[in-house]
Amino acid sequence: MVHPVPRPIRKVFSQRFGPIGHERRRVLPDKAHASPAAGRPLGLLGASRQSSDTAGPTRPPDSAPHGGRAEGTTASSSLPHHGDLRSVSDDVAGAVGRVLERLLGDLTERAAALDPVFAHDLAERVARFTLDGGKRTRSQFLWWALVACGGREEAADPALRIGAALELIQTCALVHDDVMDGSAVRRGLPALHADVEAQYSGAGTGPSRGRFGEAAAILAGDLALAWADDVVADTRLSADTAFRVRSLWSAMRMEMVAGQYLDVQGQATSSLSPARAIRAACLKTALYSVERPLALGAALAGADATTAEALCSAGRCVGIAFQLRDDLQGVFGAAPDIGKPTGDDIRSGKPTYLFAVARAKAETAGDRGAILVLDDSFGRAGLSESDLARVRDVLVSTGARETVETKIDRLVAQGMRHLDGAALEPDGRHHLRRLLRAAAAPRPARVRRPGTAGAPDGTPEDLLICAGVGKATR
């Protein structure tokens, strides 16, 4: 029997926003009637809502050059204007979420027009996964870099769209990551491939049946990536800004793949090199989670090379610290807090910096007992909780945990020095400092709310973690 699936997402969108069809286009007034707020820095603007929504396709008119902006149109005319820019800064995650809702409402409608099964099984799952995804950390980095670099009103809509695209590419990364790691849980819920597998658990015994869920998840991740690319490609930008943004976007995609490959190659070869672990962390996490979003915000603001470089350096340092914190949480955190079973990285043989340092320290000290515990546990899928506890003891006794904590502190401090050395708007700098520090900080334990079901320790099982702090180990 085929298991029931949740309501189609397009129906949910229709209930919240009215009938969903093609995205609407906003056309700005002629220059003679332009808003006096146009061109002012984002941080100085109050309400400046002025929109004229008309139905139309998302593609630029033929008269506009590719990547350019037609006279009299918005920087991003495929969505309605988002109004009060100060309100966006008050709730960046909410603003990006609203853009995603409209984009995904349109995209799932198009998918349904192609084939209802494809839309039901894949497109709507991708949309739900993306919409349910946490604090929008990457898009917040982008937005506050834009504000910090003095970005102006016309950059707001493109920033929200590209922030939405970052959330979609994060969906691609996480869905594929779960397949490669064989992880059945994501954000405290069944991973996408496990969810599809459960839906069709009694639907046949064909030769490809055994890997159907994984195949579906690979396609779902590909769809999320294609949608992300489409959103970026359809975002109206000036020629110079378009070149910078699309160059960064292209580099980020290749870096993600390179980092993921180093990750799985390290698992296949049981490589435990601290230097290689840091390299993979830089490519797979630091660049696409922190540095590239900051660089995209700077590009949208038209920041000079010196400012952009300082932001990138800050992002790279904190991004690596972010991954090292994730490594620690994956071993020492609680499963409901991290959204996946504790110890998954060890069971899957993931060559984290934490494990590589522990192994190196045990070898240097000639601690044969510690080496035996580490070697016996690494890549053992059936590792018990008692065996995991012994691994934790070794990670502490060898000094590996303390070494990683110290490295995190040093990387964050170095990142703050880079940030402080940049010529930035005070409000944007303040928010960037807060975001960067939070990215590498220990995650607080979840507290059970009265009346909620939870784990034996009282933590709700269904609480989600931020998409940006999910399984991104290198």
Residue 33 maps to a domain = no
Average pLDDT (59-65) is 36
Whole-model pTM? 0.77
**CATH number of the domain encompassing residue 19:** 1.10.600.10
What percent of the chain is predicted at pLDDT more than 90?
61
User: In whole angstroms, what is the distance from residue 169 CA to residue 313 CA?
Assistant: 22
Average pLDDT of every residue of the chain: 79
- Whether pLDDT at 74 is above 60: no
- Whether pLDDT at 344 is above 90: no
Q: For residue 210, what pLDDT is reported?
A: 64
Q: For residue 206, what pLDDT is reported?
A: 60
> Interior CA angle at 315 toward 313 and 316, to 5°?
65
Confidence category of residue 271, pLDDT binned at 50, 70, 90: confident
Residue 236 maps to a domain = yes
Residue 50 maps to a domain = no
How many independent structural domains does the chain possess? 1
CB atoms within 10 A of CB 81: 18
- Among 405, 154, 422, residue whose Cα is nearest residue 294: 422
> Where in the sequence is the domain holding 192, given as residue range(s)?
9-25+80-445+457-469
Q: What is the largest CA-CA distance in the chain?
A: 79
Stronger pLDDT, 467 or 402, i.e. the higher one: 402
Residue 308 maps to a domain = yes
User: In whole angstroms, what is the distance from residue 178 CA to residue 141 CA?
Assistant: 25
Residue 37 maps to a domain = no
Confidence category of residue 201, pLDDT binned at 50, 70, 90: confident
Q: The dihedral of CA 432, 172, 299, 46: what is its sign?
A: negative
AA letter at 45:
L
Q: For residue 61, what pLDDT is reported?
A: 35
Q: What is the pLDDT of residues 397-443, one digit of tens each?
A: 999 999 999 999 999 999 999 999 999 999 999 999 999 999 999 86
Q: For residue 88, what pLDDT is reported?
A: 87
Q: What is the pLDDT of residues 378-405, one digit of tens each?
A: 999 999 999 999 999 999 999 999 999 9
CB 401 within 8 A of CB 394: no
Confidence category of residue 185, pLDDT binned at 50, 70, 90: confident
Residue 58 maps to a domain = no
User: In whole angstroms, what is the distance from residue 265 CA to residue 243 CA?
Assistant: 33
Radius of gyration of the chain from Cα atoms? 23
CB 454 within 8 A of CB 461: yes
